Amino acid sequence: MAVITYREALNRALREEMERDDSVFLLGEEVGEYDGAYKVSKGLLDEFGEWRVRDTPIAENGFAGLGIGAAMVGLRPVVEFMTWNFALLAYDAIVNSAAKMYAMSGGQYNVPIVFRGPGGSALQLSAQHSQVPDPWYANIPGLKVCTPATPADALGLLKSAIRDNDPVVFIEGELLYNMKGEVPDGEHLVPIGVADVKRAGADVTIVTHAKMVHVALQAADQLAKEHEIEAEVVDLRCVRPLDTKLAIESVRKTNRAVVLEEGWPIAGIGAQVVDDIQREAFDALDAPVARVSGLDVPMHYARSLEKLIVPSPETVIEAVKHVCYLD
């Protein structure tokens, strides 16, 4: 296995799929001459030319709509947003056109398109650039929503998303681009809508996704060292389709659950996960399910306040101790 960064995994996925299928093309802000705002498209313009790597104006609704039209007539566009915060301008195109076209056309039009870019908080980007868009799109029938946490999942899920005949919202962790991890050699596909156990454990289940997977893993390591609690970490990997079967199986084994997400608590992904667990595994629970989320406030610029808003290993540890009756 090769050890590469998250951004290199995404770049590899794009290159492999563009080599495999000449209907795949990339468009978005600075994806060509600048190699992408986060260098995910590095080298692709030189390799595939300007017809397949298209720089666009800063007009998200316009180029998202262009991509949707291209998908309707047989191409497979990958639309890059510099940040999912900017994609709010394209929300109408994604939700009212891409997501609904197959149903409203009676199946006459597929929309095989991927909308991708960074989401979530980074470092001191303040309220308008630090939002977690996962629930906004997970709520929409007709969309699939991927939130990979590791280089291997970023590679495998992006390749699967490009090959999918439905529109896929692909939300990358802005703080994950430099993270390294093992990635299989050769063809590597990860099925959309299938969760994964990132750490085995017997005492409590932590269900999470996206970059909070790494917060959960840090918390799990500390819990094992300091409290002899072995936490099982379940990575949802996608939030639509939402695979909670694996989480429920884990809870039936550990009898305790903590659900962790970066986003706001009201109508969050965690609310649905908790609902599924308590309906399907209620009799297995030895304690109420605990939720850990970002605080219900706009993100502050000050680093000291930002640290309080975003979930940390310490907040996860406190929640685990609570469901284990150690507080």
pLDDT (average), residues 21-48: 96
| Token pair of 127 as six digits | 């309220």
What is the CATH class of 196-323? alpha beta
Query: Mean pLDDT over all residues of the chain?
Result: 97
Q: 60, 80, 172, 262: which one is catalytic?
A: 60
Q: List, in order, residues 6 or more apart from 105 with CB less than 8 Å away.
A: none
Q: Looking at the domain that runs over 2-183, which CATH code has it been given? A: 3.40.50.970
pLDDT band at 16 (very low <50, low <70, confident <90, very high): very high
In tens, the pLDDT along 82-127 reads 999 999 999 999 999 999 999 999 999 999 999 999 999 988 889 9
pLDDT for res 89: 97
Would you place residue 1 in the very low, low, confident or very high pLDDT band (cuts 50, 70, 90)?
confident
Phi first, then psi, for residue 48 (nearest 5°) are -115, -10
Confidence of residue 327 (pLDDT cuts 50, 70, 90): confident
Answer yes or no: 60 catalytic: yes
Query: Burial code of 72-109, b = ≥16 C-beta within 10 A, e = fewer?
Result: beebbbbbbbbbbbebbebbebbbebbbbbbeeeeeee
Single-letter residue type at 17: E
Pairing mode of beta strands 180-183, 2-5: antiparallel
16, 30, 129, 318: the active-site residue: 129
Q: Return the pLDDT at 141.
A: 98
The two domains 2-183 and 196-323 share their CATH topology (first three levels equal): yes
Give the residue extent of every domain in the chain: 2-183, 196-323
Q: What is the mean pLDDT of residues 276-290?
A: 97
Give per-residue pLDDT as tens, 145-189.
Answer: 999 999 999 999 999 999 999 999 999 999 999 999 999 999 999
Structure tokens at 173: 């962790």
Specify the DSSP class assigned to residue 88.
G
203-232 confidence digits (pLDDT tens):
999 999 999 999 999 999 999 999 999 999
Q: Are 166 and 255 in contact (CB under 8 A)?
A: no
